[in-house]
Structures are given as C-alpha cells and as structure tokens.
Amino acid sequence: MLNNTALLAVGPDPNCNENVHGSDIERLVLLIFGGAVIFMQCGFAMLEAGFLPKHGVANILFKNMSDSFVGLLGFYIFGYALAFGGNFDEGETGIILGTRGFALAGVSSCELPFFLFQYAFAATSVTIISGALGTRSSFTTYMTYSFLFPAFIYPLPAHWLWAKKGWLLTGSSNVGVADFAGAGAVHMVGGMAALVGCMLAGPGFDRGTQSNFKRNPPHSIPLVVLGLFILSFGFLFFNGGSVVSYTLRVNTHALSGIGLAMINTVLAASGGGLAMVAHSKLRRGVLSITRAVNGSIAGMVAVSACAGFVQPWAALIVGVAGGISYLGFSTVLQRRRVDDAIDASSAHFAPGACGLLLGPWLFFQQGIVYDPSPDAFRRFGWHVLGVLVLSLWTAALSFVMFVALKLTGVLLVSEFADRYGVDRFEHDEVAYDVPRESNIQTLTQTS
C-alpha cells in the first residue's frame, strides 16, 4: 500500500529517543543553528575575498565554494564515522576513534541533526586553510586537503574532545578537557594545518624583501566587513548550538545555557575588537579596520573554548585575551616571514589555544579563580596537554600531507600563473569585469 506521505518515514529508525537524540526542540536547535553555522562559509568567502588583492579574488571564491562541496564528501564518507560513529549507541565507540557510520550507513535519522551540526563545524575548520594559503595553492593541492582534512585529520581531535568516550574529554577521575564549542577541535586544528601549509609554501613572490615583508592591502573593505558580520552572525549560533551538542552526550538538557553562550559570544567579539582598536590607535595613531576585524574574530574564537561555562565578565576578558594572542602570533609570523594571506592561522590557532588555556581559570564556580582546588589545577593540566596534543597531531599529519604535495611538485600554482593572475590563468574569469575599451575611450575623448 503506497502512500505519498508515508514516504516521509525515511531512514532506518524514525522513532527518536529523547534521552539519546535530544528532544524535538533540541534537534530543532541543532538544525537551525547548524544552518546558520553553514552560512559562515559565506562569511569566510567574503572576508577572504575582501582581504586579497584583486587578481586572485575569483580564485579564492572558487576555493571557498568548492571546499563546501569536497569537504562535505570527505566528512560524509569518512569523517563523521571516525569522529562520532556509534556515539549514540552505547559501547560502540572507542576512545581514539569511531568505526561505523561511513557514508551515514546505518545511522538513525534521529541522529541527522547532530550530523548536520557537526558537518558545519568540520566545514568551518577546512575553510581556515583555504584562507591562509590564499590564491597560491594549486587546484590539486586544494582538492586534496579539502577532502583529506575533514576525512582524516579533523575527525580524531573531534572524537577525543567531543565523543562520549573521547580520551581528552573523559580525562581521568572526572577531569579532562572541556572544549565547549571547538576552540581546539575546530580553530586550533584548522589554524595549525593552515600554518603548516603556509610554512611549507614559503613566502609569495610579491611579499617584498627581507626588510619589508608587507601584505597587499585588502582590495575591498566592504567585503571584509560583510564577511565579519556574517561570521559574527554564524558565531552566535556556533557557540549557542554547542550547548545542545555538548550536553547531548550526557543526556541532560540545558536550553537555558544557550542564551549565556550567545551573549558571551558578542561580549568576546567586542573585547577582541576593542583591544585591537585601542592598540592600533595608541601604537600607530590610526584606527585599523583589518586589525579590528581580526581581533573581533579572535575574540569569538577564544570564547568558543568556554562560552557556555563562564560568566559574561569572564567572556569579555577571554575576548580581549584572544585579540591580544592573535596580535602577538601575527607579529611573530610576520617577523619569521610566514606568508599567511589573511592572517588566518593567527586569528584561529592562537586565540583557540588561548581560550583553552584560560578556561580552567575562569569556569564558573569550578575555575581556579573561584576555587583553587587540586582538581581545578588538574583540569588546567589537562587543557595544557590538550593544546599540545592537538597541535602535534595536526602539525604532523598536515606536514605529511603538504610535504607529499610539495615533493610531487603540485603544492603551488606556478609562479607564472601567480604573476599573470591566477584568476585568468586557472579560471579564465576575472572578479570584476571592467569594460576596458569604453573606459579608455572615455578617457581619450576627455583628455
């Protein structure tokens, strides 16, 4: 007996268990908030396009578009299973990785909201890399890491930190790493992979001499700021939705925490942004927009370590610290002539680590400033360990991947393409079509 509407009862198990998969409202939060996090792809694309010089804008936009495509396949086929396969079926997941649910095989439809939310996070992490390498990575490189990173590099830290049995989460004697919304799993991991890629790529031909390692000015501040606002919108839901994804693993419900996480996000954005505004005004006498943008992002990255766990005043402090950590890291990288096209590794890795290290001091009631107990210090120790482990894991695997690409000679586009303009060379399209003849004509006629 066929019936059109019966078709909706798809998937192996439509009868969701509230205690396992969350309530109707919680799954709705994952879906709506997850949709808003996916929209961060748009923010990254606009931000990166705005920051780059004009001749590579089409290329970077193409990359941002394609990493949604390719990255999704990597996460769908391999990543989710390694990170969370079996996570909702007790006893079916290890402390290192998951081993089932490849290509969503056998996954309950009740688990799909969680999948969507986690995909949004993985996609965010991938995008950090495309921004850092900018227009210089070749198409082959780009397709390779966009697939491999969310398939094999990202999932393990995500498992360690967020799967029910992940070893960093569980720690020892009830104390482990609390990475609320991905300061470690998303931003440190993505930022470190970006950093390794940039270091292996070396500085671009247009980055000046030793004494003058300058970045090209942004070709469009409106795109940069548009990107920031879209990212800020997404971050609200990135941190807010994490309340649900974080608590799902322990079968508790904490909807009231979403408000706190979202408010802490805007406060940290303010803190990071204002710190950079103050710095650029006091040190250079100008109000630097690019610094303020990156400072604000850094603040939101930092607070993603603890947005659901700290009081608003503490979130403001974490934001300021995140901004400063970005500035410091960026300065060091510039001195060492690491060519990160849009400072992506500085704006993600450094504040991510900073947030993770600050959290154990500021966690409400349980932080060291509230209660300097042995357990609180042990937690700080676990967080230090977490920062090291995440850094090493990502650095090692990214190094292998990028070195392999470098040895086979496909890491970067040719210097010719770079000088000629990668937009014309690889895409036969330019970001802005300026009808040249007419302009020249006008000018000629006038002069």
- H runs (alpha helix) in 285-373: 289-303, 312-335, 344-362
- Our CB check for a second copy shows the closer of 260 and 338 to be 260
- Our CB check for a second copy shows the closer of 213 and 229 to be 229
Main-chain phi, psi angles of 37, to 5 degrees: -70, -40
Rounded least distance, CB 112 to a second copy, Å? 3
- H runs (alpha helix) in 336-410: 344-362, 374-407
**Cβ atoms 165, 94 nearer than 8 A:** yes
Identify any residues that bridge with 172 across adjacent strands, giving them in sequence order: 175
Residues in the chain: 447
Rounded least distance, CB 408 to a second copy, Å? 18
Q: Of 391, 290, 389, 401, give the one whose Cα is nearest residue 347.
A: 290
Q: Which residue has the tokens 């104390």?
A: 175
- Our CB check for a second copy shows the closer of 143 and 200 to be 143
- Our CB check for a second copy shows the closer of 310 and 333 to be 310
**Cβ atoms 315, 299 nearer than 8 A:** no
- Our CB check for a second copy shows the closer of 109 and 334 to be 109
Rounded least distance, CB 199 to a second copy, Å? 26
Rounded least distance, CB 171 to a second copy, Å? 8
Rounded least distance, CB 189 to a second copy, Å? 19
Rounded least distance, CB 399 to a second copy, Å? 27
- Our CB check for a second copy shows the closer of 259 and 328 to be 259
Identify any residues that bridge with 412 across adjacent strands, giving them in sequence order: 137
- Our CB check for a second copy shows the closer of 296 and 398 to be 296
Rounded least distance, CB 397 to a second copy, Å? 24
List C-alpha distances in Å: 367 to 198, 311, 353, 377, 419.
36, 11, 17, 9, 52
Angle of helix 312-335 relative to helix 289-303, nearest 10 degrees, comes to: 120
Rounded least distance, CB 177 to a second copy, Å? 8
Rounded least distance, CB 186 to a second copy, Å? 18
What is d(CA 197, CA 263) in angstroms, rounded to the nearest whole number? 34
- Our CB check for a second copy shows the closer of 197 and 360 to be 360
Determine the Cα angle at 41 with ends 317 and 315, to 5°: 10
Main-chain phi, psi angles of 99, to 5 degrees: -135, 15
What is d(CA 145, CA 7) in angstroms, rounded to the nearest whole number? 37
Grouping H, G, I as helix, E, B as strand and the rest as coil, residue 172 is: strand
What is d(CA 315, CA 115) in angstroms, rounded to the nearest whole number? 28
- Our CB check for a second copy shows the closer of 378 and 406 to be 378
What is d(CA 274, CA 293) in angstroms, rounded to the nearest whole number? 10
- Our CB check for a second copy shows the closer of 254 and 410 to be 254
What is the greatest pairwise CA distance in the chain?
Answer: 81
Rounded least distance, CB 234 to a second copy, Å? 9
